[in-house]
Amino acid sequence: MLFNSLSFAVFLPIVCLLFWLVPQRKRWIVLLLSSYYFYMSWNVKYVVLILFTTVVSYVTAILIEKAEKKKAKLILALAAVVASLSVLFVFKYFNFAFATLVRVCNMISIPLQPFTLQLMLPVGISFYTFQTLSYVLDVYYGKVAAEKHFGKYATFISFFPQLVAGPIERTDHLLTQINQKEYKFRYDNASYGLKLMAWGFFKKLVIADNLAVYVDQIFEDVHYYHGFCMVLAILFFTLQIYCDFSGYSDIAIGCARLFDVELMTNFKSPYFSNSIREFWTRWHISLSTWFRDYVYIPLGGNRVSKFRNCVNVMVTFLVSGLWHGAAFTYVIWGGIHGLLQIMERFFLGKKKMPKLVVFLLVAFAWTFFRAQSLSDAVYVLVHMFDGIGQSGYLSSVMDIFDLNVFGIVCLLIPIVLLFVYDYVALKVDPIVIISKQKPVIRWVIYYVFVLFVLLFASFSAQEFVYFQF
């Protein structure tokens, strides 16, 4: 069930109505049942996986808390980690790992027959797996107490607004809210949530899905193109993935507010960063902080020598790249970000880079993220400036993308609005500012916004990019 689908437009009001009609003590049940229904709408069979991960982490956490010896606690924590990651490995990484092994064996003249598991990647598996892992590790480190109520814990893991693409929530934030004794309906809170959802839909339907048409055209057959259309495809994807993923996060956060639940902020105007390091404090914040807390810091963080710290940074980003997908393109993308951060520390220190430079470096890295293979990524980067300086370098794009002046305007206006919104958001919340305007001004803005969405949105119900991770 996609957020941008008719079925969700019917599902959400029904769940919201039931939630506020039932007694306080039963509201978690509405959230749990609706969350499992939401997940089963993708594939009924794979509900077993999320249930398995939930049960294993729930039981293990309780046993860890009861165990008296540190060694026993460690063994239990490792068992939970291995169990959860094993499921993730089988469904997401087995084919990639085995294909890599076959390739290496063939290089050293060891015959090994290829083998592929015919399994569909369960939607959201990377997200809810990391959420259960953080819970178990937090219990192991003594940061939180093990949750004894299985139903409420299962609700924490499966909460449908953030189930399939985050934010990856922590125990002390989301589970605490699910355990609250009283949910309160607040008009201002619900109103803000709906407005944030509207902005998320704008980014997804008006910007991301329209840009995806041109991005897919180039990256699905890169060898057919060259020149400026490739530059434009990279820049378009840079905006597409941001609007697609941050749009999902906005919808998820706004949707949660309808149930008096506050999810963590996942994006903070990342393309206005002055360094790659700052970019990762603004992009996919729930994931970057997860890797910081459970990979980077346990490796030693910055409490070690400079060389060891560089290794820690690189390992963290290589693993982050692999988390995104079972392909070397994602690993290289992560490696580029790790390398850029290391270079910043050695050559810039605390100095800032121009925002445009950071944006272009991030866009360069996105080439590997979007390309279907390493050879495709290299081809794009090698041939993107073919014909530069010639009269047809720019004008040919109009024909390749079948664009006219009206089409360009339809693309540019939403993008300009996006950057204006993000620039304002660096200091104040644009939604709050608009909400404080006089009724006439406020409703004019709302009507123009809705009209703009109706005129330029793509209503083909395209999946969100991060569903594949």
Given a contact cutoff of 8 angstroms between Cβ atoms, the answer to whether 370 and 198 are in contact is no
Residue written as token pair 């390749």: 400
Helix 328-343 with 306-324: angle, nearest 10 deg? 150
Nearest to 260 by CA among 129, 161, 330: 161
Cα 70 off chain centre by:
35
DSSP string, 363-402: HHHHHHHHSSSHHHHHHHHHHTTTTTTSTHHHHHHHHHTT
Q: Which of 226, 324, 337, 383 is labelled catalytic? A: 324
H/E element, 49:
helix 47-66
d(CA 377, CA 93): 21
d(CA 327, CA 100): 10
CB-based burial, 86-96: b 16+ in 10 Å, e otherwise: ebbeebbbbbb
- DSSP state for residue 349 in the 8-state scheme: T
CA-based diameter of the chain, in Å? 76
Q: What phi, psi does 145 have (nearest 5°)?
A: -85, 150
CB-based burial, 12-27: b 16+ in 10 Å, e otherwise: beebbebbeeeeeeeb
Given a contact cutoff of 8 angstroms between Cβ atoms, the answer to whether 158 and 35 are in contact is yes
| Cα-trace Rg, the chain | 23
- Does the annotation count 324 as an active-site position? yes
Tokens of 234: 């990279």
DSSP string, 249-304: HHHHHHHHHTTT--PPP--S-GGG-SSHHHHHHHSSHHHHHHHIIIIITTTTTTSS
Tokens of 243: 């609007």
d(CA 252, CA 132): 19
Residues noted as catalytic: 324
